Amino acid sequence: GQCALACPTGAIVVKDDTRKVWKEIYDKNTRVSVQIAPAVRVALGKELGLNDGENAIGKIVAALRRMGFDDIFDTSTGADLTVLEESAELLKRIKEGKNDMPLFTSCCPAWVNYCEKFYPELLPHVSTCRSPMQMFASIIKEEYSTSSKRLVHVAVMPCTAKKFEAAREEFKVNGVSNVDYVLTTQELIQMIKESGIVFSELEPEAIDMPFGTYTGAGVIFGVTGGVTEAVLRRVVSDKSPTSFRSLAYTGVRGMKGVKEASVMYGDRKLRIAVVSGLKNASDLIERIKSGEHYDLVEVMACPGGCINGGGQPFVQSEEREKRGKGLYSADKLCNIKSSEENPLMMTLYKGILKGRVHELLHVDYASKKEAK
């Protein structure tokens, strides 16, 4: 196989983890679980004989099962947790009148790194929510902690930045990372090819229980504006299909690098900005610093969001749009659209998460900075 994958920024060369993951799968003493990020399912297309933007989640699950993974989950479930925690954080800030500065999203590690480096003074306004990948990894490691086998957790992600996120000290328990390996979409494609599976002919299969439920809100995390739309579905009081459809037209959708939207929360108008691409992020930050007000700012480092991540096969802009459309159609197929209606959430909050929400789902990037 390939020996190295180039970082999209060109600054670093990222190691290929496929050999290590194969070794863990073949080790009889391990229990290997895997989660697949929303954006991955619409990006395998050309390489594996499907159409651009086609949602291949069922086939990916079937392939991972044949490759020998023990438990197969969908990061969209982790995204549902992120929506609940991030909405609560947003509403708390507004209620307490602490919204002179916007709440910045925190699920893109390349954005978090950028903020730490260039705008450390903004860190107290970056959400304390761990990314969907990290939230879900905490839950999975907890769930199987009594297993007699060594637990290994793999995440299939659209970018190499996730490899660095997984390795951060904040996400280690007793020195072991919650996510042991991150495979990029390209590495997954390589492993599928190595295993000799004829991907296009696989019959789609379902993800495993007990974490087998997710909502459309979780799936759209993979495209710019998706996190915002998911949070809005959570905070608006009208949960009807018409109300959710109208959220799609507030301005949050589409491939533009800077988008603005506003929605009513009670008698208050929430102002939201959605940016993708770090140049757009820094331009927006300068506008905010000179007095422009927003309540929520979604930042994704890759133009268009994770569908266009550096670990995905490269495509031109029309194909990128098809990937975005693929995620919105996956959302349409989900019978639950809003994260709080995912029945699994209730089970988690009453079970594993009881009294441990902060420990398992949050991270404090700001205080780490102050402690230095």
Is 108 one of the binding residues for ligand SF4 (CB under 6 A)? yes
Nearest-CA neighbor of 235 among 309, 158, 296? 296
Burial of 281 (0-12, 13-18, 19+ CB in 10 A): buried
- The least CB distance from residue 307 to ligand SF4, in Å, is 8
**Among residues 319, 40, 79, which one has the least CA distance to residue 158?**
40
Q: Which two tokens stand for residue 72?
A: 């197969």
Active site residue 165: yes
Q: Which of 24, 85, 89, 229 is catalytic?
A: 89
Catalytic residue status for 302: no
Residue 300 binds ligand SF4, judged by CB under 6 A:
yes
CA–CA dist 289, 110 (Å, integer): 21
Q: What is the Cα 132 distance to its own chain's centre?
A: 5
Least distance from ligand SF4 to the Cβ atom of residue 111, Å: 6
Active-site annotation holder among 127, 138, 276, 338: 127
Can you read off the two tokens belonging to residue 60? 């990916």
Nearest approach, Cβ of 156 to ligand SF4 (angstroms)? 12
The number of helices, as runs of H, and strands, as runs of E, in the chain is 15, 12
Instruction: Examine residue 159 and tell whether it contacts ligand SF4 (CB under 6 A).
Output: yes
Reply yes or no on whether 319 is catalytic: no
Q: Indicate whether 223 belongs to the interface with ligand SF4 (CB under 6 A).
A: no
Q: Per the residue annotation, which of 24, 85, 86, 321 is the catalytic one?
A: 86
**Among all residues, whose Cβ is closest to ligand SF4?**
309
Task: Decide if 286 is catalytic.
Answer: no
Task: Give the shortest CB-108-to-ligand SF4 separation in angstroms.
Answer: 3
CB 215 within 8 A of CB 84: no
Element (H, E) at 366: helix 365-371
Check binding of 232 to ligand SF4 (CB under 6 A).
no
Q: Do 182 and 166 form a contact (C-beta atoms < 8 A)? A: yes
Give, in degrees to the nearest 5, the angle at Cα 351 between 349 and 355.
65
317 sits in which H/E element:
helix 317-333
How many residues lie near ligand SF4 (CB under 6 A)? 12
What is the rounded CA–CA span in Å between residue 92 and residue 239? 21
Please confirm, yes or no, whether 187 is among the known catalytic residues.
no
> Is 161 an interacting residue with respect to ligand SF4 (CB under 6 A)?
yes
- Sole binder of ligand SF4 in the list 38, 53, 132, 158 (CB under 6 A): 158
Which residue stretch of 63-71, 121-129, 187-195, 298-306 sits at the interface with ligand SF4 (rule: CB under 6 A)? 298-306
Task: Please indicate whether residue 115 is annotated as part of the active site.
Answer: no
Q: Does residue 301 bind ligand SF4 (CB under 6 A)?
A: yes
Give catalytic status of residue 107 as yes or no: yes
Active-site residue, 239 included: no
Would you tell me how many other CB atoms lie within 10 Å of the CB of residue 263?
22
Contact between 327 and ligand SF4 (CB under 6 A)? no
Supply the minimum distance, in Å, between the C-beta of residue 191 and ligand SF4: 19
Q: Which two tokens stand for residue 142?
A: 């907890």
Q: Is position 225 an interface residue for ligand SF4 (rule: CB under 6 A)?
A: no
309 belongs to the binding site for ligand SF4 (CB under 6 A): yes
3: enclosing H helix or E strand: none
CA distance 252 to 232: 10
Q: Is 305 in the site for ligand SF4 (CB under 6 A)?
A: yes
Catalytic residues: 86, 89, 107, 127, 162, 165, 170, 306
Residues that bind ligand SF4 (CB under 6 A): 108, 110, 158-159, 161-162, 300-302, 305-306, 309
